[in-house]
Structure 1
Amino acid sequence: MKRISVIILSAVLLSACGGEENKTTGQAEAVDNSAMTVKEVVGIGKIEPESKIVNLASTSGGIVSHIFKMDGDSVTAGEKLVQLEDETERLKITEINSQINTQRSQITLEKNNIKEAEWKLANKKKLLITTKNLVNKGAETQQVYDDLETEVKTLEVALEKSKLNIRLAENKLAEIIQQVQTAEAEAGKKILRAPTAGRILNMQVTQGSALTQFATYAEFAPAGALIIRAEVDELFSQKLKIGQQVEIHHAGSQEVIAQGEIKMLSPYLKKKALFSEKANDQEDRRVREIRISIKDNAGLVINSKVECVIKI
């Protein structure tokens, strides 16, 4: 009887152990199945203009004399943003314009001299013909004719010289006009203009401040749609596809502030770049960069950090 009881107890224990083993295996399978059916991936991104933020640089140095646009102002292509002092350039333009006027007066004088020389030459040629007839008739000496012929040749040489002077003066005028165009271009560099339509994000200069050549004076957002540049951990990089829908949240919030769609996938993995606090932050991890078009960007602030919930 005791032996039968031991056998029954052993059977119960074995059955219980088998059931526990099956339960553990089932939990593992559930975890594995859950891991294989990821329905969404979260990436961290920031709001940017589609053409990216542009640092506007000055092609000339100088003192800021006037600022036409400030932070948040919308501008059109070519609109004035900043004026640098240009007194030196303007004085130079005035001086060159004076040279142009003088040169034009000289050309006018040379042209009048040519007309006078042509008139004298024409009269001398007529007189030469008359004198030739008189010489043939014996009414005038050969010496008089020879002297007149010399005068005609002298006038012809003088006329050619005057015509050459005109050409030289006109060439000189063209050079001076080129100089004034160059001076005006230099003066034009003192006016800093918007490269395209857009909005001033951060005007970095103040009136009276010095600006060196090629220094950045403003951050500028070209007109156009906003996008999100985001990064997704390499663990989920293969699950991303162009066209996947995205819900956009403020960082740390569950509220959906906009909807989007993946428009670009980087072809390679790189080090984490967005919002890294340190140079070696997560250096051992790689991320895949994506670009997300936004269906409605009302109220979104450029450079704000967002969470992108990507529907897989």
Structure 2
Amino acid sequence: MPCNFQTVGALLVASAMLLNVTSCSESNGKEDSAAKTDSVQAPIAVSRVMGVARIEPENGIQTITAGTTGKVLNVLIDENQDVVGGQSLINVAVAVETAQLAQAQSKLATQQASIAARQARLNGLNVDLQKARDTYERNRQLIDAKAQTKQALDESKAALDRLVTDVASAQADVLEATNRLNELRADITYYRTVVGQKKVAVPQPGRILKVTINPGDYVTDNTQIAEFAAAGPLFAKTEVDELYADRVKTGQRAALISQTTGDTLARGTVSFTADYLRKKSLFNDQNTEQEDRRVREVHIRLEPGRSPLIGSRVDCLILL
């Protein structure tokens, strides 16, 4: 049978193309399988969690109010000053209250003397009353024995009745004077309290951070006079996202890192973890989260030594 070279050539070309397509399909299949294998990775173990923290005393920065009314005569503190518990912060005018206290105290001695005089009179009347009773009883017995006149009995009875009335009146006088004495003592206690309240003092040792009052100002009970940080260790107060909240425990170590330089500023230990989740609140002035995320409040007790300034914002790295 004669050989047709054109037909054979066509068959060879078709066979080569078929082999090439088969080879490409196998190659693509292997690459897809390798890609799928590479995309399935083991989950990353989270060993630390980062948050933003604010440096504060344990009970936060406290606001001291005047708690009284009056004109400020002197401001006795400066900013950044360490103070002890009970130390006076300002002097408030107390001239009127002091005068009222002195007046009540002066009346106290006079009233005590008045009570003593009225009690002495009552004691004398009680003696006279007993004598009048004895006289009346004796006259009554004598008249029964026909040894005394009716007039004498009547006179002794009148004297007895008069003394009974006088004693009752004297007792009322003593009671009134005693009540007045108690009122004066209450006035003294009140004026002492008022004068004492004019002394504005710091409740516990610590540091004055800011003074917000000046001499000559008029203060009321709620007038702010200073911002105060109680003595004691500082704390970094942060919030951990709900995804990792249950992994944070007291006793875990933490580091505070500068948001500017990345340097480690201080180290500490987790001392408090809240028992519930809440909305973000610590830095609510920065609304960077559009979704409703829940967080757990965490406090880090800083180690003694160099610490960030109170009020600083730092990054807080907690080792889980």
Q: Does the pair score TM above 0.5? A: yes
Which stretches in structure 1 are left out of the alignment for 5+ residues? none
Provide the C-alpha distance between the structure 1 equivalents of 2:82 and 2:295, rounded to a whole number of angstroms.
34
Moved more, 88-97 or 264-273: 264-273
- Asked if the contact 1:197/1:222 (under 8 Å) is kept, the reply is yes
Is the CA contact (8 Å cut-off) linking 1:272 and 1:282 kept in structure 2?
no
- Letter of the structure 2 residue corresponding to residue 308 of structure 1: C
Q: Is the 8 A contact 1:83 1:191 kept in 2?
A: yes
Q: How many residues align?
A: 308
Equivalences for residues 1-312 of structure 1 within 5 A: 2=13, 5-6=16-17, 9-10=20-21, 12-14=23-25, 16-30=27-41, 33=42, 36-121=44-129, 142-144=150-152, 146-277=154-285, 280-300=287-307, 301-312=309-320
CA contact (8 A) 1:271 1:283 kept: no
SS at match of 2:282: coil
SS at match of 1:292: strand
Partner SS state of residue 40, structure 2: helix
Q: Determine what percentage of the aligned residue pairs are the same residue.
A: 23
RMSD after superposition: 3.3
| Residues 69, 82 of structure 1: 8 Å contact kept | yes
The 8 Å contact of residues 90 and 200 in structure 2, kept in 1 or not, is answered as: yes
After superposition, give the CA deviation of every residue in 1:42-82 in whole Å (9 maximum; x if it has no partner): 10011121122222233322222233333333333333223
> Which secondary structure state, in structure 2, belongs to the residue aligned with residue 89 of structure 1?
helix
Of 131-140 and 48-57, deviating more is 131-140
Q: What is the TM-score when the length of structure 2 is the normalising length?
A: 0.80
Deviations along 1:164-183, whole A, 9 cap, x unmatched?
A: 21122112211221122122
Q: 5+ unaligned residues in a row in structure 2: which ranges?
A: 1-11
1:59–1:214 CA contact under 8 A, matched in 2: yes
Name the CA shift for 1:129/1:42 in 2 (closer, same or farther; >3 Å).
closer
Q: Report the Cα offset of residue 142 of structure 1.
A: 4.8
Q: What do residues 214-260 of structure 1 show as CA deviations (whole Å, max 9, x unaligned)?
A: 23322222333322211233444454444433221122333222223
Rounded to whole Å, the distance in 1 between the matches of 2:249 and 2:22 is 55
**Larger-Rg structure:** 2
